[in-house]
Amino acid sequence: MSVWQAFIELLKRDLRLAMRRRAEIANPLLFFVMVIVLFPLGVGAEPNLLERMSAGVVWVAALLAALLTLDSIFRSDFEDGTLEQLLLSAQPLSVMVLAKVVAHWLVTGLPLLLVAPLLAMLLGMKSAAMGTLMLSLLLGTPVLSLIGAIGVALTVGLRRAGVILSLLVLPLYVPVLIFGAAAVDAAASGLPVAGQLYILAAFLAMALSLAPVAAASALRISLS
Amino acid sequence: MNSFMKWIHKWGSPPWFYRVSGMMLPWLTGLFVITLVYGLYAGLVLAPADYQQGDSFRIIYVHVPAAWMGMFIYMVMAAAAVVHLVWRIKIADVVLISSAPIGASFAFIALVTGSLWGKPMWGTWWTWDARLTSELLLLFIYLGIIALHSAVEDRQSAGRATAVLTLVGVVNIPIIHYSVVWWNTLHQGTTVMRLDGPAIAPEMLWPLLSMAIAFKLYYVIVMMLRARGEILARETKSRWVRELVGGE
Amino acid sequence: MPFFYSSISVTDLANSTVHLQADSVECSRDDRLLFENLSVEVSGGEALILEGRNGTGKTTLLRILCGLRRPDEGEVRWSGVPIEECAVDFHRHMVYVGHLDGIKRELSALENLRVLQTLSGRGRYSVEEALEAVKLGGFEDIPVHFLSAGQKRRAALARLLVTDARLWVLDEPFTSLDVHGIELVESLMDTHLSAAGALVMTSHHQVHLSAGVIKRLNLSEG
């Protein structure tokens, strides 16, 4: 049994599970939409103001929606004991963690990415920035899932993990937020965006290589 | 086993740490008082007033060392985390968790004094200055570490989980810092005056260094006191603690 | 190495004899010492049954033996090698069934076991044969949450058969099983022991085994 086969099998299992509880996919999306709707209601529907805020608002809302879904990466596996079995399987745990994070992103991050342009339009974002918005989310949201996996792995054994999880994870999300929103802002003002996107890509590469290892060692601690 | 490992294992033994820290504490306290008194007197009385900022610049004697300590203590914690996870030394765990609240306090002091300084300088209590913002994020990371440690019930798991989180933080802190600096230049330009000028007169520098040393000594003293309490609590049932308590 | 998963195969254990050894392990939980200086071993054809009142650390010892928890002192060795150093080999030849079933309720028994087999390696039985052996034939394709507690437990115990595990670590395996279920599992254990497999378990029930050497360890004493 190669590691790759195991990776694919676990990925398929998690996707199959997600398909059998579809509400869990829809709820964070609904949350994302609602948060974005709250902003014009809170700050007023003045088009210039909304347009200027749109990049930041979409990114902050995406970040909160991602935070909301994090717990599902490991929680149900922890509760029914499959996480123990994963730890005791004859595969490197960090690769298994990566499979679970990829599945989680496909189920929660990807839909977010697809809905984002629609919501950006509601806020009057320039259509020139849409491509960059999608691209920045494409590079940024996997980083959110990867960093989040470490936080969940650390808190999965706790009964009331929700608030602590956000305390741990939100400060670590700041760089992604800064460069994600800045890329979209730059695109809207017609400035080059390659630099910001490269940095987001660098964050992704770094998170891909380090986060699964950190999350795996955190899981071992949480399960002991 | 090389000498470094010997050194680590020696310090890692709770009774040894307890005994040696007990012997060191009076000396450290003496040095602390000397550096603090000199630093404060030289800084607040002897040093000339700044030609631009007047007397209000004198807050750097608290602000700058506190900001340094915020970072310094985190580095100590990260080192303790490595020692704890790799060599499973119990003391490292104690040092880590005893340091966290002190680090958080220094980060908080740096924020408050920065904001106090901001009022005469910028006319506002808070400005989204890069240093203040990243200091604020550092404070959040400290608070996350403390929250995680108090939330995990099993003490061993709590120690190891906190160590992992500390290391995750140490990778992220530079990234967060430079992201914030970049964000700051993007949104505000460089019109805001920097909190510490590039050149500083020697009669201003000596008190500053003295204060920095005093703060470090203060950290070591408080950390040792907290660690000693923690060790006694953890090893209540061991023979050396019973002998210690019974013998006195 | 506590930090990285060691994937280096130290020895190929497939053909070697089964031997798990705990060498003077110590464990305390929340300042309470559960056991110290505890040494115990189990080899092929032996069943080690842990006994003792609630809270004496039976489950904790099982979790230490299968590598989920590290002992405070001492170490656990698999064929003479500390289990952290041969984790992949050890896990390939060990199966653990704990309090939790380790079964996804939304998936069928078949799907559950398939994943496990891909992750831990194929054994002597196919998934279908294993489900037949625990009398779940005909229920393979039904999501597990439609099954009864006893059937669910049997699906979990089918794990014992689908991989090439030489060592079974079982925490209260008879929970929620009826008389027939218990007899069934006992016969599986007999077969395992006669094939030179090893077994470590806890149980509140009296265990009736007709094969293998039975060793008992009572954690309440001393």
Helices B239-247 and B14-41, packing angle to 10 deg: 60
The beta-carbon neighbor of B154 closest among C2, C29, C33 is C29
Using pLDDT thresholds of 50, 70 and 90, give the confidence band for residue C222: low
C3 touches chain B (CB under 8 A): yes
**Is residue A41 exposed (0-12), middle (13-18) or buried (19+ Cβ within 10 Å)?**
exposed
First to last CA, chain C: 32
* pLDDT for position C14: 44
Does B121 have pLDDT greater than 80? Answer: no
Nearest CA in chain C to A212: C4
Domain containing residue A58: 3-223
Using pLDDT thresholds of 50, 70 and 90, give the confidence band for residue B187: low
Q: Residue A125 carries which DSSP code? A: -
Mean per-residue pLDDT for B77-99? 92
* pLDDT for position B188: 54
- Among A202-206, B17-21, C87-91, the range of highest mean pLDDT: A202-206
Our measurement of the distance from residue A191's CA atom to the centroid of its chain's CA atoms, rounded to an integer in Å, reads 27
**Is residue A135 exposed (0-12), middle (13-18) or buried (19+ Cβ within 10 Å)?**
buried
Mean per-residue pLDDT for C152-170? 90
Inter-chain Cβ pairs, chain A and chain C, closer than 8 A = 94
Using pLDDT thresholds of 50, 70 and 90, give the confidence band for residue C30: confident
Q: For A126-159, how does the pLDDT look when each residue is reduced to its tens digit (9 = 90+)? A: 888 999 999 999 999 999 999 999 999 999 988 8
φ/ψ bin of C30: left (φ > 0), alpha (ψ from -120 to 50), beta (otherwise): left
C30 touches chain A (CB under 8 A): no
A148-187 as b/e: b if 16+ CB within 10 A: bbbbbbbbbbbeebeebbbbbbbbbbbbbbbbbbbbbbbb
Nearest CA in chain C to B158: C30
User: Across all residues in chain C, what is the average pLDDT?
Assistant: 85
Mean per-residue pLDDT for A74-90? 92
Domains of chain A: total: 1
The beta-carbon neighbor of C3 closest among B86, B153, B237 is B86
Mean per-residue pLDDT for C67-82? 91
Q: Which residues of C touch A9 (CB under 8 A)?
A: 114-115, 118-119
Q: Which residues of C touch B155 (CB under 8 A)?
A: 30-31
* pLDDT for position A216: 95
Does B59 have pLDDT greater than 90? Answer: no
* pLDDT for position A182: 94
* pLDDT for position B6: 78
* Candidate from B17-21, B201-205, C110-114, C182-186 with smallest mean pLDDT: B201-205
Question: How many CA atoms are closer than 13 Å to the CA of C108, on its beta-carbon side?
Answer: 13
Beta-carbon count within 10 A of A72 CB: 21
Find the helix or strand (DSSP H, E) in which A186 lies.
helix A162-188
Answer yes or no: do B140 and A224 touch at CB < 8 A: no
Question: How many CA atoms are closer than 13 Å to the CA of B205, on its beta-carbon side?
Answer: 6
* Candidate from B60-64, B155-159, C123-127 with smallest mean pLDDT: C123-127
C-alpha distance from A168 to closest chain B C-alpha (Å): 5
User: Identity (one letter) of the amino acid at B209?
Assistant: L
Q: For A34-45, how does the pLDDT look when each residue is reduced to its tens digit (9 = 90+)? A: 999 999 999 888
Would you say C85 and C7 are in contact if contact means Cβ atoms under 8 Å apart? no
Mean per-residue pLDDT for A170-191? 94
